[in-house]
């Protein structure tokens, strides 16, 4: 079932994802404003397009992996709509706010396209390895159409609900993650100040009610629990700046939905502070260094 797929946005994530569609036997026509990003993708088997318009012409599927909502709205409105055939299925994998995702999906529908939002969980390694988790928003028909094209890039493809539901699931999940990571860091820092050995505290709390993914799978303390970015000086992993981006999207959604999310807000403020102090490129668990007072940019 080989298809012509236009892939727009070949950065850290898209640059890993597009070659997995090539490996699955699809013909991928790639475009990125960055010549460097585009060249790397072409070295891995993608075909070079000179523009988004050229990439989407005659495409059966269009995949976008762009930085933020403004890029997504701009690329679809200015370059995809009217240039891709209306038979093309549109799949936006970028992480953007729920309202913008719904807006662009409505505009696509009005122009005769079927579209899904399909943000991902997992970082650069999962993008390259084809092991991302996709949360998909769209109609049952659109999801069924999109799934086989997403699968070569995924370890899991979950239908979250109607348009925008993929983005909603992603930002709510990451809001929980930001808050539990901050709380877990505080717990370890206080435990240590109270004289507890971090390993002993881990052994207790990871089997008690303080347990969470942030503790047992992504422990922010080096040498404790499975190997994590904490064991690598908080390098690699999920950048604090991206956590902050997702928390801001969650705060925006909460405001529009009229929901009080005080823990999420607190997490947003903590990450804002950490990024402001130069921690943006560090793994998000590195916030423990700010909490214990040893952070040095």
Catalytic residues: 170
Smaller CB separation from ligand NAD, 67 or 210? 67
Smaller CB separation from ligand NAD, 123 or 187? 123
Contacts of 240 (CB under 8 A, 6+ apart): 271, 274, 275, 279, 280, 281, 282, 283, 284, 286, 287
Tell me which residue of 242, 238, 249 sits closest to 69, measured CA to CA.
Answer: 249
Minimum CB–partner distance for residue 293 and ligand NAD (Å): 28
Minimum CB–partner distance for residue 269 and ligand NAD (Å): 20
Smaller CB separation from ligand NAD, 24 or 56? 56
Measured between alpha carbons, how far is 240 from 284 in angstroms, rounded to an integer? 4
Measured between alpha carbons, how far is 282 from 275 in angstroms, rounded to an integer? 9
Minimum CB–partner distance for residue 173 and ligand NAD (Å): 11
Minimum CB–partner distance for residue 239 and ligand NAD (Å): 7
Binding site for ligand NAD (CB under 6 A): 8-14, 31-34, 37, 52, 65-67, 71, 74-75, 94-95, 120, 123-124, 238, 242, 245
Name the burial class of residue 124, with classes exposed (0-12), middle (13-18) and buried (19+) by CB atoms within 10 angstroms of its CB.
middle
Dihedral angle of Cα 241, 245, 250, 254, to the nearest 10 degrees:
110
Smaller CB separation from ligand NAD, 118 or 224? 118
Smaller CB separation from ligand NAD, 14 or 264? 14
Minimum CB–partner distance for residue 192 and ligand NAD (Å): 29
Q: Which residue is nearest to ligand NAD (CB)?
A: 11
User: CB of 56 within 8 A of CB of 84?
Assistant: yes
């Amino acid at each position: 079932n080989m298809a012509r797929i236009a892939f727009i946005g070949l950065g850290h994530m898209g640059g890993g994802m597009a070659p997995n569609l090539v490996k699955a036997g699809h013909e991928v026509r790639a475009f990125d404003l960055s010549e460097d990003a585009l060249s790397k993708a072409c070295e891995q088997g993608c075909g070079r397009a000179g523009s988004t318009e050229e990439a989407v012409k005659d495409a059966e599927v269009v995949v976008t992996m762009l930085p933020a909502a403004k890029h997504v709205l701009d690329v679809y409105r200015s370059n995809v709509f009217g240039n891709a055939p209306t038979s093309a299925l549109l799949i936006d994998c970028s992480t953007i706010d729920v309202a913008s995702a719904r807006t662009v999906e409505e505009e696509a529908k009005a122009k005769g396209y079927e579209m899904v939002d399909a943000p991902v969980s997992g970082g650069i390694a999962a993008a390259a390895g084809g092991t991302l988790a996709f949360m998909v928003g769209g109609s049952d028909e659109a999801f069924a159409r999109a799934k086989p094209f997403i699968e070569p890039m995924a370890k899991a493809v979950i239908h979250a609900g109607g348009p925008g539901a993929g983005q909603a699931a992603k930002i709510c999940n990451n809001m929980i993650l930001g808050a539990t990571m901050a709380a877990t860091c505080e717990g370890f820092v206080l435990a240590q100040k109270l004289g507890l050995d971090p390993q002993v505290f881990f052994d207790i709390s990871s089997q008690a009610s303080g347990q969470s993914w942030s503790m047992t799978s992504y422990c922010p303390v080096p040498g404790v629990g499975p190997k994590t970015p904490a064991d690598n000086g908080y390098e690699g992993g999920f950048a604090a700046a991206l956590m902050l981006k997702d928390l801001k999207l969650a705060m925006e959604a909460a405001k529009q939905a009229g929901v009080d999310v005080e823990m999420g807000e607190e997490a947003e403020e903590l990450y804002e502070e950490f990024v402001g102090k130069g921690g943006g490129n560090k793994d998000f668990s590195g916030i423990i260094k700010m909490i214990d007072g040893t952070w040095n940019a």
